[in-house]
A and B are shown apart, each in its own frame.
Chain A
Amino acid sequence: QLQLQESGPGLVKPSETLSLTCTVSGGSIRSSSDYWGWIRQPPGKGLEWIGSLYYSGDTYYNPSLKSRVTISVDTSKNQFSLKLSSVTAADTAVYYCAKPSYGDPNAFDIWGQGTMVTVSS
């Protein structure tokens, strides 16, 4: 059974880079036709798609974050990662990694438990 687990610092200073990793267990991150995504949720607010990574390495980013986001994959560790640069308090949120299923890149069916990241000095 595929499982996802986010990890990374819970506190990041303003203007610095947020770095998170999602470790995939129970399956290979290089399975063909698979997408992997990052979604965040500010405290008390709704969900926001950050970006997705296709198994081939192609990436797709939310236009509102595109200039600051990088999603990459490390197949040797079965992980994919998120980097968000120049963070501000507005980037404080629970960050989820997620994987779509049913052959649909938007049907996020498998989620990590989420990790809270606070941006503060």
Chain B
Amino acid sequence: QSVLTQPPSASGTPGQRVTISCSGSSSNIGNNYVYWFRQLPGTAPKLLIYRNNQRPSGVPDRFSGSKSGTSASLAISGLRSEDEADYYCAAWDDSRGGPVFGGGTKLTVL
């Protein structure tokens, strides 16, 4: 059981905009930054978003993050087939004294 809650799956067609949600509590998302990672099969996760909405260098602006209260979202616009992957959210958790992750969302590009 993950501390942060994500839908297990999401889907979209090429060119479409999709969003993936991440729900937490006041001890994590509510009072701390949110991070998003993408993981292709058999590879290590890649940082997509840090501090709620900041993109690391090299991450295209098709990816954007937002946070409101104890929930956060990752939006992907102009969906491409190569976006098909697992997406994880994360946040520092004050009660646990470390980062916690969501269970992951498998994005399928139809």
Contact = CB atoms under 8 A, between A and B. Distances in A.
Interface residues of A, number: 24
B88 A60 contact: no
A52 B96 CA distance: 13
Interface stretch (B12-20, B67-75, B99-107): B99-107
Interface string A102-116: 101011110111100
B56 interface: yes
B50 A102 contact: yes
Interface string B78-105: 0000000000101110001111111110
B44 A111 contact: yes
Contact of A46 (B43, B50, B51, B102): B102
Interface residues of B, number: 26
B50 A107 contact: yes
25 contacts: A46-B2, A46-B102, A47-B88, A47-B101, A60-B98, A62-B96, A62-B98, A63-B97, A96-B44, A96-B45, A98-B44, A102-B54, A102-B56, A104-B50, A106-B90, A106-B92, A107-B56, A108-B35, A108-B37, A109-B47, A109-B50, A111-B44, A111-B45, A113-B43, A114-B44
Given A102-B54, A106-B33, 17 more contacts: A47-B37, A47-B101, A49-B101, A61-B98, A62-B96, A63-B96, A63-B98, A96-B45, A102-B50, A106-B91, A106-B99, A107-B51, A107-B56, A108-B45, A108-B47, A109-B50, A114-B44
